[in-house]
Chains A and B, each alone.
Chain A
């Protein structure tokens, strides 16, 4: 936090955007359009309660339970809601399954649409201009920057998220994980693997 201590008697004036936000919040609260308690709840949810662990549970279940995978394919929004994860704006969830021949990757070229209910809020790089502009033009180059090198036979599909439709990549299940329970499998599922800029960890990489 900016706190320079120049003024010992009074308080440091916040930055310009911070003041603009305070002005908006004050005005909207006065008009009854904003409930400060509701704002606190939203911030708390996304700072502490919702994150990629949710998506990892969805993926681990999809790997372990063929019937669940089938439900995800048919209606991902409903199948994800079975685990208690529901989108705030009622957006439609779609899964994109990686296979031996297809690698999926998700971007939002417009702004930063992202499946909050399963991944939390997007990382800084997902919102960056570089990622948003390059993911569609040069997905293999972007993947290489993330340390992912795919053979030429693998087709890369890029999915552009919107306000209405959000994608969750189901990474391939790593080899040597046959005996693992869902909880253990979930530890292998990284956030980036569910955006498609990573792959799931091997048990050795996850320290198992």
Chain B
């Protein structure tokens, strides 16, 4: 399968934080969700991919091309929604339309205006008069209206109320049905990703903890709930992390079926990405 995005050994150092050897690939037509707590390195990864950060080591290829050498060509085909970074808020959607006509070769004014109508955004009102949800929709409309082959979305649902979040997720789902577009999507709101992501990459403290298909994660990973004595019998290689609570142990296991056949523990819950994140970050080894 053709890879749209390949990140190899991406390392970026700041005082007090380091993104360490981040590697992953996004196949064509797929959605990858990057999850991790705030400050884990999600935005650093995205900013490096987009060359907003310039000083890092490692190799990034987009559409098979080096992201530094082919910057212009690549960016003609990428749509971007960044967290809190956009056009100055004194501009209007009409201004954005005029501007983008002079920036993208493939800018589709009709498509942009259709999105404005669909999202009920007034074309001649300043961005500063829009609610947070409306702004996000405008950012998404802007990211989509040049027919990008890859969408890079950094926290596109953060700060939105549940209704606006559901609307935004629905927009992404409809894009996927229409186009052969690939999406790299970072979020700390993991429930959004469970429904739409094909792959999940989990970054913690600047390192990739796991990168797998969503089905693999949700079908195979589980949380075994057991007593202290039962936990003592579990071999270290059969679990990833565990958390003690007042009455029981919650044990993160990578293969529910194998675990069930090996141990006599009856309660193994299905995992959610939230559970996974909490156990991976807060759990003990």
The yes or no verdict on A and B being binding partners is no
Q: Which positions in A face B, CB cutoff 8 Å?
A: none
